[in-house]
């Protein structure tokens, strides 16, 4: 099998890395030591019953350090690395037993700095120790790990700043830095090749990962990474290889094969969303439609059911639309599902049912209040003269259909005929957000702010803008693990406050969290609007804290956020992993179990399973 130049088999073969949110923690009981599913180390019957084995073909310095500090993730990776170097090697039985003090310099402080990512400080400490003890030399393993950490840092820095050729050069200089136990760097290398239009090398890099890195989760994640650059045929090839090549004991590779199916489902759902009302060209084939319906039913995917509902709504198949919106509302009640139900029932002429579907959300959700306008049209012209007495305007109808491209077209035509107004440009901002164009949306809200300052004072903007703002804010926030309130903007918000809020939502979508945090205290928004943005920022920081392994900070941020808004499901999962990594296993288990009892998903089941096995040593 051909391999890319910078990922030699010797580097990748058999090396494991634990990705995701969990750190497997070493326990202190005798018997088999569970590090992670499928990885066990035999432990001596009693601590201190033997001394360290004589040095052999492998250097166990790092191994013993990771065992001593209980860093299960690095310990597991080091065991796999040493086995790759020497297939006959086995972890020592006294790995977790206290070791006798040996003369010389204790390298633990250097390893501690290195484990914390403080490579420069580790080098400085080594240099200072050599100044104090001229005859001492650091272990080869310590020097090697410092070199690798520096190389990995160069790869990350170049990747973060999109210096793609520098990524390739840094990986070429130190191929070990893109091994399976540093999988993020391997992904960055593949990304660099793809961005440099070297697609064959990018594909070979992804292929090498899915055929040699043993963890099923890493293989699955690699396929999702590759989906950014490759089409269904190449992804199908990666999935087939990842599900069958070089299997490791204890790994379930069926999840790798399902990755391609999930991507295909995503593509079908995207086509559902892009289908034009009544257009045959955008419609799915009967086979594709049947397949996506089956997948959504099997997963009880409320968001997918809502997407199907809108697909049928656009095709004016109101009965099917009503069925899928009802299904979504049964799986996970939401104002999004209720909005669809209202409009589907209205399309069927069942106005009483439409009002009943809206009742739980009436006055609480701007999107539902907006949908009710189609059921009971306003009896007087809307403010600004655009609305007709007999029903909602063309723009209102486009918004009710979630046809945001048409929204932009209507606004563009209106502006070309009669010039821009603050309300029109503001609505353009919300529609741009729905179309995932946050930078343009931010500019639109800024323009609306300027126009509003020139216009005479008038009544607050129509409910159409808040409805769209609520939807856009929630969707863009959830893409990054944030959740904004589903209640929309307060009715008391002024046009200036609505524009400031819109700019903040757009900045959230672009990832400008630092600037937004700085500017929020001075922003012209209502307290409720500021609370929503502040809650979203806290969720973002909590995610970053988890990535940085600052687990106490995760809990602190989530607790503070709960003072502003109820905690959504995704952040509840985040809380569970923070508790787990603080060794608060019982609390973590209760957290995951409560979420799983409400609605069982792969994420909640994984949390329940991992915590249960950790508590009862059932690996």
Whether residue 519 sits in one domain with residue 405: yes
pLDDT in tens, 223-253: 888 988 988 888 889 999 988 888 888 888 8
Q: Residues 6 or more apart from 160 whose CB is under 8 A from it? A: none
Highest mean pLDDT among 360-374, 466-480, 576-590: 576-590
Please report, for the domain that includes residue 481, its CATH number.
1.25.40
Whether residue 459 sits in one domain with residue 541: yes
DSSP state of 99: P
Q: Residues 6 or more apart from 489 whose CB is under 8 A from it? A: 366, 465, 466, 469, 470, 498, 501, 526, 528, 529
Give a yes or no: residue 214 inside a domain.
Answer: no
Give a yes or no: residue 279 inside a domain.
Answer: yes
Please, which pLDDT band fits residue 71 given cuts at 50, 70 and 90? low
Whether residue 492 sits in one domain with residue 407: yes
Q: What is the pLDDT of residue 165?
A: 94
CB 332 within 8 A of CB 599: yes
Give a yes or no: residue 192 inside a domain.
Answer: no
Q: How far apart are CA 8 and CA 523, in angstroms?
A: 53
Q: Which has the closest alpha carbon to 492: 466, 456, 453?
A: 466
Whether residue 523 sits in one domain with residue 409: yes
Q: What is the pLDDT of residue 325?
A: 94
Chain mean pLDDT for the chain: 75
Give a yes or no: residue 261 inside a domain.
Answer: no
The Cα-based distances of 278 to 275, 313, 339, 417, 566 in angstroms read 8, 9, 20, 28, 39
Whether residue 366 sits in one domain with residue 401: no
Whether residue 522 sits in one domain with residue 436: yes
pLDDT in tens, 262-293: 777 777 766 666 665 555 545 677 888 888 88
Domain boundary among 516, 547, 578: 547
Q: Which has the closest alpha carbon to 408: 360, 440, 369, 375?
A: 440
Q: HEC string of 367-435? A: HHHHHHHHHCCCCCCCCCCCCECCECCHHHHHHHCCCHHHHHHHHHHHHHHHCCCHHHHHHHHHHHHHC
pLDDT in tens, 356-379: 999 988 877 777 887 887 788 654
Whether residue 566 sits in one domain with residue 517: no
Q: Could you tell me the two tokens for 526?
A: 């209502």
Give a yes or no: residue 190 inside a domain.
Answer: no
Domain boundary among 318, 344, 376: 376
pLDDT in tens, 416-468: 888 888 888 988 898 988 888 888 888 889 898 888 888 766 544 443 443 33
Whether residue 404 sits in one domain with residue 543: yes
Give a yes or no: residue 63 inside a domain.
Answer: no
- What is the maximal distance between C-alpha atoms in the chain? 93
Q: Residues 6 or more apart from 127 whose CB is under 8 A from it? A: none
pLDDT in tens, 324-362: 999 998 998 888 899 999 999 988 989 899 999 999 888
Q: Which has the closest alpha carbon to 304: 276, 264, 343?
A: 264
Radius of gyration of the chain (CA): 28
Q: Tokens 């741009």 sit at which residue?
A: 432
Please, which pLDDT band fits residue 388 given cuts at 50, 70 and 90? very low
Host domain of residue 323: 275-376
pTM beyond 0.75? no
Q: Residues 6 or more apart from 617 whose CB is under 8 A from it? A: 27, 29, 34
Q: How far apart are CA 395 and CA 434, in angstroms?
A: 15
Mean of pLDDT values over 401-426:
86
3-state helix, strand, coil in the chain (%, to 5): 65, 0, 35
Domain boundary among 547, 567, 588: 547
Give a yes or no: residue 447 inside a domain.
Answer: yes
Q: What is the pLDDT of residue 510?
A: 83
Whether residue 391 sits in one domain with residue 364: no
Please report, for the domain that includes residue 314, its CATH number.
1.25.40.10
Whether residue 348 sits in one domain with residue 324: yes
Q: What is the pLDDT of residue 467?
A: 38
Whether residue 591 sits in one domain with residue 467: no
Give a yes or no: residue 566 inside a domain.
Answer: yes
Q: Could you tell me the two tokens for 42?
A: 């035999």
Q: Which has the closest alpha carbon to 562: 539, 533, 581, 585?
A: 539
Q: Tokens 């189609």 sit at which residue?
A: 374
Number of domains the chain is built from: 3
Rounded to a whole number of angstroms, the distance between the first and last alpha carbons of the chain is 34
Q: Residues 6 or more apart from 194 whose CB is under 8 A from it? A: 202, 228, 229
Whether residue 368 sits in one domain with residue 323: yes
């Amino acid at each position: 099998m051909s391999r890319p130049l910078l990922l030699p088999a010797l580097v990748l073969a058999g090396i494991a890395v634990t990705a995701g949110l969990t750190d497997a923690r070493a326990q202190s009981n005798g018997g088999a030591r569970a590090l992670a599913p499928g990885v066990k180390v035999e432990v001596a019957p009693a601590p201190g019953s033997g001394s360290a084995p004589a040095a052999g073909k492998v250097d166990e310095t790092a191994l013993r350090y990771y065992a001593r500090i209980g860093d299960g993730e690095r310990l597991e990776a080091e065991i796999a690395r040493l086995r790759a170097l020497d297939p006959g090697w086995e972890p020592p039985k006294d790995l977790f037993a206290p070791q006798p003090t040996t003369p010389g310099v204790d390298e633990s402080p250097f390893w501690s700095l290195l484990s914390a990512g403080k490579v420069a400080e580790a080098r400085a400490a080594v240099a200072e120790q050599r100044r104090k003890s001229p005859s001492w030399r650091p272990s080869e393993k310590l020097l090697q790990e410092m070199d690798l950490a520096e190389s990995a840092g160069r790869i990350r820095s170049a990747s973060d700043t999109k210096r793609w050729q520098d990524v390739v050069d840094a990986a070429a200089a130190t191929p070990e830095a893109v091994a399976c136990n540093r999988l993020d760097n391997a992904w960055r290398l593949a990304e660099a090749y793809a961005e440099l239009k070297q697609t064959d090398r990018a594909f070979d890099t992804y292929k090498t990962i899915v055929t040699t890195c043993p963890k099923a989760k890493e293989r699955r994640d690699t396929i999702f990474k590759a989906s950014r650059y490759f089409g269904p045929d190449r992804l199908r090839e990666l999935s087939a290889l990842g599900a069958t090549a070089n299997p490791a004991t204890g790994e379930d590779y069926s999840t790798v094969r399902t990755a391609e199916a999930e991507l295909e489902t995503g593509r079908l759902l995207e086509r559902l969303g892009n289908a034009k009302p009544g257009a045959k060209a955008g419609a799915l084939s009967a086979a594709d439609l049947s397949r996506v319906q089956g997948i959504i039913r099997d997963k009880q995917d409320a968001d997918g059911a809502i997407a199907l509902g809108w697909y049928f709504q656009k095709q004016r198949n109101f009965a099917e639309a009503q069925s899928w919106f009802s299904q979504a509302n049964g799986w996970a009640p939401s104002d999004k599902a209720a909005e669809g139900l209202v409009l589907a029932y209205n399309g069927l002429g069942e106005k009483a049912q439409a009002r009943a579907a809206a009742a739980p959300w009436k006055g609480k959700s701007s999107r539902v209040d907006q949908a009710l306008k189609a059921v009971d049209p306003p009896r007087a012209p809307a403010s600004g003269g655009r609305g007709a007495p007999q029903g909602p305007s063309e723009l209102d109808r486009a918004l009710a259909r979630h046809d945001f491209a048409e929204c932009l077209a209507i606004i563009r035509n209106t502006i070309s005929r009669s010039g821009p107004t603050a309300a029109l440009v503001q609505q353009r901002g919300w529609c741009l957000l729905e179309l995932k164009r946050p930078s343009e949306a931010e500019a639109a809200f800024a323009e609306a702010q300027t126009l509003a300052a020139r216009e005479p004072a008038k009544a607050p903007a129509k409910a159409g803008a808040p409805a769209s703002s609520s939807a856009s804010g929630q969707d863009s926030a959830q893409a990054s693990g944030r959740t904004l309130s589903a209640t929309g903007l307060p009715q008391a918000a002024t046009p200036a406050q609505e524009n400031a809020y819109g700019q903040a939502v757009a900045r959230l979508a672009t990832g400008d969290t630092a600037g937004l945090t700085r500017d929020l205290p001075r922003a012209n928004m209502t307290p409720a609007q500021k609370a929503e943005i502040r809650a979203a920022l806290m969720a973002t920081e909590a995610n970053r804290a988890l990535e940085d392994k600052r687990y106490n900070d995760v809990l602190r941020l989530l607790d503070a956020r709960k003072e502003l808004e109820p905690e959504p499901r995704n952040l509840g999962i985040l809380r569970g992993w923070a508790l787990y990594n603080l060794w608060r296993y019982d609390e973590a288990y209760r957290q995951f179990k409560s979420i799983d009892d409400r609605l069982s998903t792969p994420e909640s089941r994984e949390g329940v399973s991992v915590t249960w096995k950790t508590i009862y040593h059932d690996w």
